[in-house]
Amino acid sequence: MEAEELRVGIGWDSHPLVSGRSLVLGGVDVPYHKGLSGWSDADVAIHAIIDALCGAADLGDIGTLFPPGEPEYRGVSSLVLLKNTSELLRAKGLRVANIDVTIIAQEPKLSPFISEMRKRISQALGIDSTQVMVKATSTNGLGFIGRAEGMAAQAVVLIRQKWSVRRLGKT
């Protein structure tokens, strides 16, 4: 007999927008005149997903797994970090059931890039793209995001672990 444990995690990330950097969201280079500042590629969508996976899998957080300031993570693609996180989950017998991530940005318009984001995230995790939902919204001009000073993302993940349960016989 098999049993299954379900675990949920939530993640959040934000970075300021700066000149002279590429804008990478969901593993996709998005044409824009600014990019997100950070030690890696500063992909807020994938960072939020990694943090959610870490929470659900009892792995700490993204800063614990991939400390900023470490030379090996300087400018690294967040897709690489996501793949490494996925391998840590598999080592614990955990599998991603689904991911729901919302990117919060005043501009640019992200809808043309959503499908490719879903594809790249799912490929990094070794899951079907139907298990990954990416959405985008704005703050309608409110706050640092509304002033186009930065972007943020929040993610919720559901992971599962299956194990065998031995039936107890009568004695």
pLDDT in tens, 144-171: 999 999 999 999 999 999 765 555 555 4
67-108 per-position pLDDT tens digit: 888 888 888 999 999 999 999 999 999 999 999 999 999 999
Q: Could you give the residue ranges of the DSSP H alpha helices within 3-148?
A: 44-57, 62-65, 78-91, 114-125, 143-146
Cα–Cα dist 132/129, whole Å: 5
Identify the structural domains of the chain with CATH numbers, from first to last: 2-161 (3.30.1330.50)
